[in-house]
Amino acid sequence: MENEDYKDRDISWLFFNERVLLEADNPATPLLERLKFLAIFSSNLDEFFKVRISQLRQLKSIDKTLRKKLISKPNKKLKKVLRIIDEQQQRFGAIMETIFKELLKEDIHFVTNEEVTSEQKAYLNTYFKDTAADCEVFTTDKNPKLSDGGLYLFVAQANDTYHFVKIPTNQHDRFVEIPGNGHSFMFLDDVVKMHLNELLPKGVIESSYAIKLSRDAELYLEDDFGDTPLADQIYDALHQRKSGQPTRLLYDANLPEEYKEVIRKTLDIGNIDLFPGGRYHNLSDFFGFNNPTDNPDLTYKVQVPLPHPILSKTKDFFASIREKDQLVHFPYQSFDAVENFIVAAAKDDKVKHIKISLYRIAKASVLTDALLVALENSKKVTIFVEAKARFDEKNNIEWGKIFEDKGAKVFFSIPNIKVHSKIALIERTESDSLRRYAYIGTGNFNAKTSSIYCDHGLFTAHNQVTEDLNQVFSTLERHLIIPKLKRLLVSPFNTRNVFLQSIENEIKNSKKGLPAKITAKMNSLEDKTMIDALYRANEAGVQVRLIVRGFSCLMPKSATEVPSGCEPILITSIVDRYLEHGRIYLFHNNGDEKMYIGSADWMTRNLDRRIEVLTPILDSDIFNELNDILKLQLNDSVKARVQDADDTNTLVSLEQEKPIRSQYAIYKYLKTKDKALSS
């Protein structure tokens, strides 16, 4: 967006990734966790190139007449984005160098092939015998197709002979532990470098350099342009676009220009797609680097997930939910509660039907096993599988076919719309009548991600909520075109209108001299209409306080730019050991507060082009619990940074007797509360 009233989403996203980099640069972060923040930064940037840079490059290539219809200018924007990335990459390299020096003090050594001792060389010679068979070799004169995200060595031999050697990180550990002082490791890249003579035809090896190629992900122009004639025109203009085109060639900055040109011509990529990097790429592999020492201070102190105070002890899952709504918080509490809900339904003779929407399906899990057990027990199972969940398409489709083969009724993507909701509905016969039980969450049905993503999930048997959710599933099953809703917010049907009405209600109350306040937590804020409504609310004197983890297109104003007596909109972002992922929306409503949680951010795609479900919080105890958690996050003074107009990423400054680190404070709050309930 080239408009001073709104931030550009991609530029704002880059400054979110900078917040990740700041955690890697923070000496207070445990040393090995700093490595993992480098891994997150690296992984994020890879995805950014696959998706956002890919789209910018495609838009840059379309006809000039069509380009003029775009709000932002792809050429100008691409240059700015790449300049910021280059600056961040340089900082990344400097931070990594600092961390490696600190690791040496902890007796953790990353040995290069220039530093190996004779003992280490003998060990590595033996090790390589088991590795060599997995090292694929490609010559440059046979049009090699390098795999997306794969690590390669570009090898120059005498007589202008060149090869690409694939480093087999999918088959072997990236970090090879070797004999030596303390805890010594070697990058698999360097192990392969040491043994190139055994892989390549006879000839003098002059040099070798690491490279990595990233390819375009599928374009989903609807996310930015909607289902509009402009999107159709762009798709038509790109009809000859090759799937999986190279979007970035990352290379060792020491690579000579002449070799760079050989690679460019061999892979048929442009100069704009070449990016200098360090000696090693794919540093997201540091996710798998575990603490080799006995020093627990090198990693975060383990936070064992708390058992849910009610659901972990109940002998009757359904009775507990029927008696009172139940709320779970991940990763602070165990994901067992969600899995056991489906397990109980699969085994319960009274359960007749299980309905669930799956956005990112784990390769294997208790939950998928439970659904298969339900089918074995002759229960009806209806599953909506999102076949266009980016980067999970193949796995989701495979699981959908497995469920279908076992007898489930499986629905895949709806044309032009994704199903992003995190919902399940159980139908159970009780006293000769049908009773429904619902789960509505902010995060995926995935035990692995629940250990690192901060999410919330509501179990309820509330009649209006469960009837609404049944309407949602009927819509997904194509039985209904539009659900009739009493309680739930469901995109693209009523979410936008309810949120806009709620904001307008706060504006009216403020103009009447009544207290007016909007508090919202989300992952991303991009929708222009919602942003404009927040601007109007702020100008009318409504207190607006936002927590936005990722990018935000709202342009915060200073105290001098808002009407006298009004507080500027304050946006903070929390980046800590867990990924903030929950969405909570709270409206003061003249004291009769309304709160919603669910899967939708305030992005146009979430409001208009995805099936999203948000539930009101109707139970007063649960409302208070979520409100307490939200307050801890609003008062975070350790990991929260301000999203200001200049993207300075300044830490929040608050007057407090004791600093609050919200993720630790929430765990302590829930643990204390659970103890009180148990006593």
Phi/psi of residue 150, nearest 5 degrees: -75, 150
8 HSE (CA, 13 A, CB side): 17
CA distances from 573 to 7, 76, 368, 449, 506 (A): 16, 28, 34, 20, 24
Phi/psi of residue 47, nearest 5 degrees: -65, -40
8 Å CB contact between 575 and 20? yes
Q: What is the pLDDT of residues 226-255, one digit of tens each?
A: 554 544 544 454 454 445 677 789 999 999
| Helix, coil or strand: residue 310 | coil
Residue 615 has a pLDDT of 98
Residue 456 is classified by DSSP as E
**Apex 218 CA angle, 214 and 223, nearest 5:** 120
8 Å CB contact between 413 and 419? yes
Q: What's the rounded Cα separation, in Å, for the pair 22 and 12?
A: 15
8 Å CB contact between 658 and 632? no
Task: Say whether 281 counts as a known binding-site residue.
Answer: no
Task: Say whether 395 counts as a known binding-site residue.
Answer: no
Among 354, 367, 443, 427, CA closest to 399: 367
Q: Tell me the pTM.
A: 0.91
Instruction: Write down the H helix ranges in 406-543.
Output: 447-450, 463-476, 495-511, 528-539
Task: Say whether 259 counts as a known binding-site residue.
Answer: no
E strands, 174-230, where?
175-178, 183-187, 205-215
| Helix, coil or strand: residue 596 | strand
8 Å CB contact between 542 and 603? no
Two structure tokens written together for 409: 């009724």
Two structure tokens written together for 12: 């704002």
| Helix, coil or strand: residue 236 | helix
Q: What's the rounded Cα separation, in Å, for the pair 663 and 267?
A: 46
| Helix, coil or strand: residue 482 | coil
Residue 50 is classified by DSSP as I
Q: What's the rounded Cα separation, in Å, for the pair 304 and 411?
A: 37
Size of the chain in residues: 679
Per-residue three-class SS string for 351-411? EEEEEEEECCCCCCCHHHHHHHHHHHCCCEEEEEECCCCCCCHHHHHHHHHHHHHCCCEEE
The per-residue b/e assignment along 31-63, b for 16 or more CB within 10 angstroms, e otherwise, is bbbbbbbbbbbbbbbbebbbbbbbbbbbbeebe
Phi/psi of residue 371, nearest 5 degrees: -65, -35
Query: Which pairing describes strands 579-580 and 584-587: parallel, antiparallel, or unpaired?
Result: unpaired
Sites in the chain below the pLDDT cut of 70? 1-3, 57-74, 217-244, 387-392, 414-416, 678-679
Task: Say whether 241 counts as a known binding-site residue.
Answer: no
Residue 84 has a pLDDT of 94
Residue 436 is classified by DSSP as E
Q: What's the rounded Cα separation, in Å, for the pair 227 and 411?
A: 22
8 Å CB contact between 377 and 346? yes
Residue 77 has a pLDDT of 84
Two structure tokens written together for 520: 């919202």
Residue 142 has a pLDDT of 82
8 Å CB contact between 176 and 191? yes
Phi/psi of residue 386, nearest 5 degrees: -80, 110
Among 255, 170, 177, CA closest to 210: 255
Q: What is the pLDDT of residues 453-474, one digit of tens each?
A: 999 999 999 999 999 999 999 9
Phi/psi of residue 123, nearest 5 degrees: -60, -45
Residue 244 has a pLDDT of 63
Q: What's the rounded Cα separation, in Å, for the pair 154 and 210?
A: 6
Match 């570009």 to its residue by tokens.
154
Match 């929040």 to its residue by tokens.
652
| Helix, coil or strand: residue 502 | helix
- C-alpha R_g of the chain: 27
8 Å CB contact between 222 and 254? no
Task: Say whether 581 counts as a known binding-site residue.
Answer: yes
Among 318, 321, 305, CA closest to 674: 305
8 Å CB contact between 346 and 334? no
In order of their start, the domains of the chain are 9-298 (3.30.1840.10), 317-485 (3.30.870.10), 491-678 (3.30.870.10)
Residue 1 has a pLDDT of 40
Q: What's the rounded Cα separation, in Å, for the pair 495 and 656?
A: 37
Task: Say whether 390 counts as a known binding-site residue.
Answer: yes
Q: What's the rounded Cα separation, in Å, for the pair 331 and 448?
A: 10
8 Å CB contact between 41 and 92? yes
Please identify every residue annotated as catalytic: 420
Cβ neighbours for 432, distance < 8 A, ≥ 6 positions apart? none
Per-residue three-class SS string for 119-184? HHHHHHHHHHHCCHHHCCEEEHHHCCCCCCCCEEEEEEECCCEEEEEECCCCCCCCEEEECCCCEE
Residue type, 442: T
Two structure tokens written together for 489: 């917010």
210: left (phi over 0), alpha (psi -120 to 50) or beta: beta
Instruction: Enumerate helices (H) and strands (E) in the chain, giving the number of each.
Output: 22, 26
